[in-house]
Amino acid sequence: MDLLRFGAARHLQLFTTTYRSMHLLKNKAFVDGKWQHAANNAVFPVTNPADDTVIGEVPDMSEKDAKFAIDVASKAFKSWRDSTARERANILRKWNNLCLENVDHLAEVLTAESGKPLAEAKGEVIYGTSFLEYFADTARHVTGEIIPSPWPNKQILVTRHPIGVISIITPWNFPFAMITRKVGALLAAGCTCVIKPSEDTPLTALAAVELAKQAGVPDGVVNVVTTSRNNAASVGKLLCEDPAVGCISFTGSTNVGRILYGMAAKGIKRVSLELGGNAPFIVFPSADLENALDQAMLAKFRNNGQACVGANRFLIHESVFDKFIEGFKGRIGKKCILGPGTKAGVTCGPLVNKMQVDKVSGLVDDAVSKGAKVVVGGKVAKELGDKFYQSTLLVDVKPSMEIYHEEVFGPVAVCYKFKDEAEALEVANSTRGGLASYVFTKDLGQVFRMSQKLEFGMVGINDGIVSVAEAPFGGIKESGIGREGSKHGVEEYTDIKYTLMSALDK
Ligand code: SIN
């Protein structure tokens, strides 16, 4: 027996002993309401980043499988678009209820493949499920307009129509919530979809659609095509370029978003892109420092820093800088407990894969080599494995360092001193990223000025988390196009039609 196959057999044995109890663990893709193999029966392993054990194998689907799924979704659209908003709302509400009944089952799958601590995984499921509830309510409020016309015998009617098949490409950092935020909205609008989850976290997507099936989502309306890293690019291309697809909704890096946008442009397709950020976290002298520090922990260490809305650069006024650093260091020491996500008390799990670890290490090492000072952390926590990175606090960071400009996407807080509001604004806006930003102040005038002048799609005043189903989530500049959540999130999946009704006096 060759060593590779022996290794695989041992991992699969581990899978059957370690992961047997997971009720929502699936090992097939989901197309046309059925659990499907890849046409060529290829599979790939999904591993637990905490210990590299194989959780399961899923189909490694190719363009042929993805094309089949698009055709299925296209056929299903013909009847789903004619369902009533009330019917769609009821199904979404059932899906919401089933997810809430299965929080623990969904969370164990999520923790196993993403590494995030169990409590945080449950938090993501509850957060993600809130989109299903919200869009169940919103489905019945997707309305049009009658615009007063300039002619006495004519009416201007504006109606909204579902776009059709939506290609959904989701990331590994919030593998449940990024699906519900998109799929909840598009179902409410009357669209159908093909989801390509990240190759690191396909199991959460499959668990989520098992519950969608139980909730009564008709066959073919929601489909999941799983692919390994090898097939991801070709399947992604097809999902963007197939003429039957009306819109591409992607959450992920700006680099990949740029490629997908280019592909979508060929067919003049609609896009909804939630891309990388470079969020400033600005603390002014009037801020309640204890609150700012508590929020800094959330803004930086939620999901171990692997969030596009995560605080990337802490800009702290010089008069409170030392106090802030002291408080931050103390809180990191007390609250960042590194370990496998299933271990009680752990608050920071592994990074999702080796590439992430290498990226974070590379940025910190570059900064340190150019003079940055490590207040805490700064290394891979080798005693835990090769994917755990110490929660890190850096000061004395300069523009010559890569970390000054790059989105870190890891547990590294980078702090700068500023002198006045103008400097804080200039540094904060000196990036092509424009997703989230955070400001801490009690000065009301300053609140308005910052809200006005920060070039970001979202501004949190005295708060480190802005995401909620009711609000429009999204960025400007290279952080994306379109909004998710809120009524705007549903409208993304509709086209506006203007009908001129004339000769009404004849
Ligand atoms: C993200 O940062 O990737 C999305 C997380 C959120 O919805 O807050």
CA of 468 to the centre of ligand 1 (A): 10
What SS3 state is found at 432?
coil
**CB of residue 188 inside a 6 A radius of ligand 1:** no
Domain range for residue 309? Answer: 279-468
Q: What CA–CA distances, in Å, run from 428 to 65, 311, 416, 417, 424?
A: 44, 11, 11, 12, 6
- Give the number of other CB atoms < 10 A from CB of residue 125: 26
Are 209 and 300 contained in the same domain?
no
Q: Which residues contact 453 (CB under 8 A, 6 or more apart)?
A: 425, 429
Count: domains in the chain? 2
Residuewise pLDDT in 10s, the chain (506 residues): 333 333 444 444 444 456 767 899 999 999 999 999 999 999 999 999 999 999 999 999 999 999 999 999 999 999 999 999 999 999 999 999 999 999 999 999 999 999 999 999 999 999 999 999 999 999 999 999 999 999 999 999 999 999 999 999 999 999 999 999 999 999 999 999 999 999 999 999 999 999 999 999 999 999 999 999 999 999 999 999 999 999 999 999 999 999 999 999 999 999 999 999 999 999 999 999 999 999 999 999 999 999 999 999 999 999 999 999 999 999 999 999 999 999 999 999 999 999 999 999 999 999 999 999 999 999 999 999 999 999 999 999 999 999 999 999 999 999 999 999 999 999 999 999 999 999 999 999 999 999 999 999 999 999 999 999 999 999 999 999 999 999 999 999 999 999 999 999 99
Q: Is residue 478 part of a domain?
A: no
Alpha-carbon span 77 to 192, nearest angstrom: 6
Q: Is residue 500 part of a domain?
A: no
Task: Give me the phi and psi of 161, to 5 degrees please.
Answer: -130, 140
Q: Is 415 a catalytic residue?
A: no
Tell me the CATH number at 312: 3.40.309.10
Q: Is residue 329 part of a domain?
A: yes
Q: Is residue 505 part of a domain?
A: no
For a substitution probing ligand 1, which of 435, 473, 484 has the most ligand atoms within 8 Å of its CB?
473
Are 65 and 201 contained in the same domain?
yes
Are 236 and 319 contained in the same domain?
no
Are 293 and 440 contained in the same domain?
yes
Q: Which of 113, 124, 199, 274 is catalytic?
A: 274
Tell me the CATH number at 239: 3.40.605.10
Are 158 and 241 contained in the same domain?
yes
CA of 68 to the centre of ligand 1 (A): 31
Q: Which residue has the tokens 């509001």?
A: 421
Describe the crossing of helices 177-189 and 202-215 by its angle, rounded to 10 degrees. 40
Are 176 and 214 contained in the same domain?
yes
CA of 421 to the centre of ligand 1 (A): 27
Alpha-carbon span 178 to 251, nearest angstrom: 7
Alpha-carbon span 46 to 298, nearest angstrom: 28
Q: Is residue 372 part of a domain?
A: yes
**CB of residue 174 inside a 6 A radius of ligand 1:** yes
What SS3 state is found at 313?
strand
**CB of residue 309 inside a 6 A radius of ligand 1:** yes
Are 12 and 76 contained in the same domain?
yes
Query: What is the CA 152 to chain-centroid distance, rounded?
Result: 49
pTM to 2 decimal places: 0.95
Q: Of the candidates 451, 452, 27, 9, which has an alpha carbon nearest to the alpha carbon of residue 205?
A: 27
Residue nearest to atom 8 of ligand 1 (CA): 467
**CB of residue 131 inside a 6 A radius of ligand 1:** no
Q: Which residue has the tokens 């800009």?
A: 315
**CB of residue 163 inside a 6 A radius of ligand 1:** no
CA of 252 to the centre of ligand 1 (A): 10
**CB of residue 312 inside a 6 A radius of ligand 1:** no
Q: Is residue 476 part of a domain?
A: no
Are 53 and 100 contained in the same domain?
yes
Query: Going along 136-244, which residue ranges are E strands?
Result: 145-147, 155-162, 165-169, 192-196, 222-224
Q: Is 308 a catalytic residue?
A: yes
Q: Is residue 178 part of a domain?
A: yes
Residue nearest to atom 5 of ligand 1 (CA): 307
Q: Is residue 257 part of a domain?
A: yes
| Atom number of ligand 1 nearest to Cα 473 | 7
Residue nearest to atom 7 of ligand 1 (CA): 467
Are 361 and 463 contained in the same domain?
yes
**CB of residue 130 inside a 6 A radius of ligand 1:** no
Q: Which residue has the tokens 């946008």?
A: 261
Are 201 and 311 contained in the same domain?
no
Alpha-carbon span 59 to 66, nearest angstrom: 12
378 neighbors 360 (Cβ within 8 angstroms): no
CA of 114 to the centre of ligand 1 (A): 14
Alpha-carbon span 145 to 142, nearest angstrom: 10
Q: Which residues contact 269 (CB under 8 A, 6 or more apart)?
A: 240, 245, 246, 247, 248
CA of 173 to the centre of ligand 1 (A): 8
Are 343 and 457 contained in the same domain?
yes
Are 203 and 302 contained in the same domain?
no
| Atom number of ligand 1 nearest to Cα 465 | 8
